[in-house]
Structure 1
Amino acid sequence: MGGVAAGAYKDAVVLYINSNFDKDALAYTVAHEYHHLILHDRNKYQMNKLLDSVIIEGKVDAFADRVLKDVKAPWDTPMDEKTKKHVAKLIQSGEATYEDLVGGSPQKDIPRWSNYNLGHDILDHYFKLQPDSKIEEWSFKGEADLLKGYKYQKLLQ
């Protein structure tokens, strides 16, 4: 990912940086992981379901997209509608795992980084309905609010 990888934990971000890292990738990663920390600080933060991961990754990418307007994540490749629907069905049925969504699963026809792509699509849908929504508003919105009217809402809830 441009020579940068990271993970956010309750009180810290751990960055892994290659000597030939891309500065934009580092900036995006820091913004992305920073928003994870903001979400971690909320009492209502949860990652109990696979859908929680999808929505949280959508939120943190939406934050990074707003902070760094011209920088895109390596996983910012939209999925086609057929694939989105397929992945949503697998999430709802419990057939997909977190590892499937992040790393991909050729056996299940799940592309790599599906949680990021689907999360991005969910937040994009929300922003079309709420174009003036402020970061502090949508960052803490619940699943039901963000999925309202989303084309795969019934498959995901």
Structure 2
Amino acid sequence: MGVSGCGKSTVAQGISDAVGLPFAEADRFHPETNIAKMSAGTPLTDADRRPWLAELAAWMAAQAREGQSTVMACSALRRSYRDILRHGPPQVQFVHLDGPADLIAARMSARPDHFMPPALLESQVATLEPLEPDEDGVVLDLRRDPETLVDEAVRWLGRH
């Protein structure tokens, strides 16, 4: 979890590869209307996100019914969003990639083909609610290289 540009997809794919679980990129579940809004520089509202989050939870639940855990790259910026995700499978754990907004902005500027413009980073940072003590998760410093982040996440997940 984390704001756009923090490295969620890279790290989640690395976790998936390391532990052999199916990977999903939450952005691929967005309806075209959400993509169009974000591409135009308009932040999504909670009403825009709710059906998307419910679909993500349903995908994870379907995998869990088949006995399969999953790895997903998803912003999950607010507690209420994470609560929706927790309604899917029996257990959801969060790896929050956190770090300086200026570094994230530089990363976003370096990926010209992504629908999320760097101008929306500020709204994501403002929306972000850190994990609360009762949430099953860990915060990792995104300034570390992806391989280190994957290793840290896999070790943490293995202990939990």
Fold equivalence (TM over 0.5): no
Q: Which has the higher contact order (CA 8 A, sep 6+)?
A: 2
When normalised by structure 1's length, the TM-score is 0.29
